Amino acid sequence: MEKSSQVSENILEKDRLLREKLLLLKAEAAYEKVYSSFCYWREINKVSSITEEEILEYLDYKIWVLSGKQQPIKENV
């Protein structure tokens, strides 16, 4: 019986490690998607520096996009 419970513990530990690894891979993919979107927005809007103001403008833009509306592209003055 001890051997059976040991195998179960080993399987549970491997399962836990695989879940952690999968979660990290999913998080990395999600990060890459968001970062790519941010870089695209920066390119379209000719944003060369990243300041607090620029980040807030990007977040405002994302709110518009996610609400189903399309905000006009920022015009640099």
pLDDT in tens, 25-75: 999 999 999 999 999 999 999 999 999 999 999 999 999 888 887 655 665
Q: How open is the CA angle 56-60-64, to the nearest 5 degrees?
A: 165
Give me the long-range contacts of 60-63 (CB less than 8 A, separation at least 24).
Answer: 62/37
Task: Round to whole Å and give the CA distance between 11 and 73.
Answer: 53
pTM of the predicted structure, to 2 decimals: 0.64
Task: Round to whole Å and give the CA distance between 35 and 58.
Answer: 11
Task: Round to whole Å and give the CA distance between 32 and 38.
Answer: 10
Q: Does the structure show a pLDDT above 50 at 77?
A: no
